[in-house]
């Protein structure tokens, strides 16, 4: 039923994709299910760990382990993609993510070391992101990339709308740990669509890392490192700020409602932005959104009531769309230019991004001994604002 619906909605607008549409459909469906699964837990992870008695610094340490594992696993993930293909690597990432969810589920009773939690989570993320970018950059249409990234974002956001609501209800009624059980079931379902067609790339490739030239790519690497790190800071610090310092009572349900409400608004924005990106306003939109996003980050630590949180959530999600769609199109256009080295290029981008994430996360952990918990969170948002401005230094050919 879901597959049929996606076909009717997207195929009508993409008649030029007749021959290869099945691959894109599978990716849309699998990403939707994954988004529901991840959306049902991600926003709650910092609050969940805090509820188990972990300090703000310990939670940031878990994120530092996560980012470090993600960086270390990047080129291993790329080699797996080259060997078995991106779709089988995505399935493997789901399997590792299931292990990660089981660790979180049993954390109240087993008290796994934070390095174990972070490592499993980071490895799963690395496998997925490298494989996903290789897969989507290969099967998307070069002339309509903005729309297709937009449709993918919409499918993800539908899942991310349902996920926090589902997770909030489950956490409120049954306990936060059971959200990981629900997410695990959804991830299992997300594996099934990926088995319907062949891999989109040649298998058993050998990666030639030493001969890969980075001439002309350094500016993109720096920009992508800022893009990835700003995203991590927002997704980790915002739930902490709201759930620990602002909201009182019914935190899980309120966080779920907040996330769902802002994502619903951003779905409409995504559809409009996807069209703009395929025309000539992509770079202007990216810079405008990134500058406003930087200003918003500076204001985040000042929120002190539910209405302000809703406003920041809605505006922040809309601005994120304005950054992500044109930026992703630029990265994919460069991947097309380097099609014979697509996997190496994607892996090198992720390595720069993940290394920057890990560096910033560990710096915040080290600064924890000098500042209060609130000051650390506020400092993180100032860094996020600076990073948002650095994103605008990209010069991707594919962004018009």
Region 96-103: mean pLDDT is: 89
pLDDT in tens, 322-368: 898 889 888 888 887 876 688 889 899 999 999 999 999 999 999 98
pLDDT at 2 over 50: no
Q: CA-CA distance, 62 to 46, in Å (whole number)?
A: 9
| Contact indicator for 45, 100 with CB cutoff of 8 Å | no
The H or E element spanning position 193 is none
Q: Which two tokens stand for residue 78?
A: 């790329």
Q: CA-CA distance, 189 to 178, in Å (whole number)?
A: 17
pLDDT at 185 over 90: no
Q: CA-CA distance, 238 to 259, in Å (whole number)?
A: 11
| Contact indicator for 26, 75 with CB cutoff of 8 Å | no
Report pLDDT for 13. 46
Rounded to two decimals, what is the model's pTM?
0.82
Region 88-95: mean pLDDT is: 89
Domain boundaries, the chain: 19-204+213-391
CA distances from 69 to 51, 106, 205, 303, 362 (A): 24, 21, 24, 33, 13
What region does 85 belong to: left with phi over 0, alpha with psi -120 to 50, or beta?
Answer: left
The burial of 281, by beta-carbon neighbours within 10 Å (0-12 exposed, 13-18 middle, 19 or more buried), is given as: middle
Region 292-300: mean pLDDT is: 96
Q: What is the pLDDT of the chain when averaged over all its residues?
A: 80
Q: Does the domain at residues 19-204+213-391 carry the CATH identifier 2.40.40.20? A: no
Whose tokens are 């994502």? That residue is 263
| Contact indicator for 15, 144 with CB cutoff of 8 Å | no
């Amino acid at each position: 039923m879901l597959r049929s619906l996606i076909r009717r909605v997207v195929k009508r607008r993409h008649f030029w994709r007749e021959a290869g549409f099945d691959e894109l459909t599978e990716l849309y469906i699998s990403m939707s299910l994954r988004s529901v699964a991840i959306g049902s837990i991600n926003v709650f992870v910092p609050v969940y760990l805090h509820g188990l008695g972990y300090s703000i610094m310990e939670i940031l340490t878990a994120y530092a382990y996560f980012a470090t594992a993600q960086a270390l696993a990047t080129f291993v993930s790329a080699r797996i993609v080259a060997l078995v293909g991106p779709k089988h690597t995505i399935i493997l990432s789901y399997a590792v993510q299931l292990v990660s969810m089981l660790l979180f589920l049993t954390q109240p009773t087993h008290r796994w070391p934070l390095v174990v939690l972070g490592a499993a989570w980071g490895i799963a993320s690395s496998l997925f992101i490298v494989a996903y970018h290789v897969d989507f950059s290969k099967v998307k249409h070069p002339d309509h990339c903005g729309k297709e990234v937009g449709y993918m974002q919409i499918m993800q956001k539908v899942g991310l709308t349902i996920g926090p609501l589902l997770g909030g209800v489950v956490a409120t009624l049954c306990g936060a740990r059971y959200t990981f059980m629900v997410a695990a079931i959804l991830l299992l379902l997300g594996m099934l669509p990926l088995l319907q067609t062949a891999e989109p790339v040649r298998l058993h490739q050998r990666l030639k890392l030493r001969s890969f030239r980075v001439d002309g790519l350094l500016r993109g690497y720096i920009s992508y490192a800022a893009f990835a790190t700003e995203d991590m800071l927002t997704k980790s610090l915002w739930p902490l700020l709201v759930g620990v310092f602002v909201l009182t009572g019914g935190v899980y349900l309120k966080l779920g409602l907040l996330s769902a409400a802002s994502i619903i608004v951003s779905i409409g924005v995504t559809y409009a932005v996807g069209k703009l990106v395929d025309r000539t306003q992509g770079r202007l939109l990216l810079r405008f959104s990134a500058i406003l996003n930087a200003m918003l980050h500076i204001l985040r630590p000042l929120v002190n009531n539910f209405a302000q949180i809703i406003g920041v959530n809605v505006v922040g999600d809309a601005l994120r769309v304005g950054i992500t769609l044109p930026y992703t199109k630029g990265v994919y256009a460069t991947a097309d230019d380097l099609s014979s080295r697509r996997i190496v290029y994607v892996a090198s981008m992720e390595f720069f991004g993940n290394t920057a994430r890990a560096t910033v996360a560990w710096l915040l952990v080290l600064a924890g001994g000098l500042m209060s918990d609130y000051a650390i969170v506020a400092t993180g948002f100032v860094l996020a604002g600076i990073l948002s401005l650095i994103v605008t230094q990209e010069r991707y050919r594919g962004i018009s």
